[in-house]
């Protein structure tokens, strides 16, 4: 069975359970899954029950797909994702984007917990991703191209939609949420970066670092979806502060800023 056939089968399964016709989808990163609990008229399915859909196993990723309403807009919330560092091929990491594309979702909001490289950023800041650097060592489009998904060489000059970024900026202003802007660099993981690596990334123009998002953004654009990216700066990157990096710190910071994060998402979705 081809990747296309698997995506079609999963999309038809979800359409039969009411997930068709969404105005937007949101992928929720580590510790950011509370947004899914606030949807109106919710319905959900566990990832393990969706054909071919990989199960999320990282702490802070619930592994469920939730549908519902946000200020009158129909939304699909992906509470958790799988990662390249877990050993999944990138085709599996980005499978959800293939399914969303087959469901006709017009735009996707990718969120993540990230390490702050820009020393102006405070821990807990929310950063709108203006662009990314893919340093994962591979690309999810490697291999034979299926034209039913998209063209062989998709344009990446505007991965993150100018229109959606304007909506997010307006939503942040309306909600009184401070919003940074920056470039996200995606690395393989799972080890955190060294101080020397962070210094190098800073010279390249990166403002935040993480282990996700870029492959999903590439595949979403391959399928013609608009993409918005939001990073929660849950910790400062290696060498910025004289302290070791810990995943529990990531989770605690995400919990602390969840009110601002939810307000930003809701206001953005309302404007989509």
Distance (Å) of CA 10 to CA 97, 143, 188, 199, 202: 11, 22, 27, 42, 40
Q: Which among 9, 85, 170, 181 is annotated as catalytic? A: 85
In whole angstroms, how far apart are CA 41 and each of 74, 97, 141? Answer: 10, 24, 36
* Residue 247 among the catalytic residues: yes
User: Catalytic one among 11, 22, 30, 172?
Assistant: 30
> Is 252 part of the annotated catalytic residue set?
no
Catalytic residue from among 79, 83, 97, 223: 83
Q: Which of 24, 25, 56, 113 is catalytic?
A: 113
Catalytic residue check, 22: no
Catalytic: 212?
yes
Our answer to whether residue 191 is catalytic in this structure is: no
Beta strands per DSSP E along 137-207: 179-187
181 is catalytic: no
To the query of whether residue 138 is one of the catalytic residues in this protein, the response is no
**Per annotation, catalytic residue among 7, 186, 211, 214:** 211
Q: Which of 7, 10, 11, 61 is catalytic?
A: 61
Q: Of 86, 249, 252, 270, which one is the catalytic site residue?
A: 86
61 carries an active-site annotation: yes
Q: Which of 212, 225, 231, 254 is catalytic?
A: 212
The question of whether 30 is a catalytic residue gets the answer yes
Of all residues in the chain, what percent are helix, strand and coil, respectively (each to 5)?
Answer: 35, 25, 40
Q: Which residues pair with 110 in a beta bridge?
A: 27, 229
How far does CA 8 lie from the centroid of its chain? 22
196 is catalytic: no
Q: Which of 247, 251, 252, 270 is catalytic?
A: 247
- For 136-224, list the strands marked E by DSSP: 179-187, 208-210
State the catalytic residues: 30, 61, 83, 85-86, 113, 211-212, 235, 247
């Amino acid at each position: 069975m081809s990747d296309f056939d698997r995506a079609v089968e999963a999309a038809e399964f979800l359409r039969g359970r009411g997930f068709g016709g969404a105005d937007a989808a949101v992928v929720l990163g580590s510790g950011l899954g509370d947004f899914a609990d606030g949807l109106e008229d919710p319905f959900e399915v566990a990832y393990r029950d969706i054909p071919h859909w990989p199960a999320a196993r990282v702490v802070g990723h619930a592994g469920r797909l939730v549908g519902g309403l946000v200020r009158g807009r129909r939304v699909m919330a992906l509470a958790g994702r799988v990662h390249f560092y877990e050993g999944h091929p990138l085709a599996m990491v980005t499978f959800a984007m293939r399914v969303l594309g087959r469901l006709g979702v017009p735009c996707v909001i990718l969120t993540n917990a990230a390490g702050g490289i820009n020393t102006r950023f405070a821990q807990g800041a929310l950063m709108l991703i203006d662009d990314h650097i893919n340093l994962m060592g591979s690309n999810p489009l490697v291999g034979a191209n299926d034209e039913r998904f998209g063209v062989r060489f998709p344009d990446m000059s505007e991965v993150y939609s100018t229109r959606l970024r304007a909506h997010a900026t307006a939503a942040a202003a309306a909600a009184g949420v401070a919003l940074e802007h920056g470039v996200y660099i995606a690395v393989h993981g799972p080890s955190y970066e060294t101080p020397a690596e962070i210094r190098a990334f800073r010279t390249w123009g990166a403002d935040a670092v993480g282990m996700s998002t870029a492959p999903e953004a590439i595949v979403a654009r391959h399928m013609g979806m608009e993409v918005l990216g939001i990073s929660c700066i849950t910790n400062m990157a290696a060498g910025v502060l004289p302290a070791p990096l810990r995943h529990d710190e990531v989770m605690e910071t995400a919990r602390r800023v969840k009110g601002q994060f939810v307000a930003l998402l809701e206001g953005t979705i309302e404007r989509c």
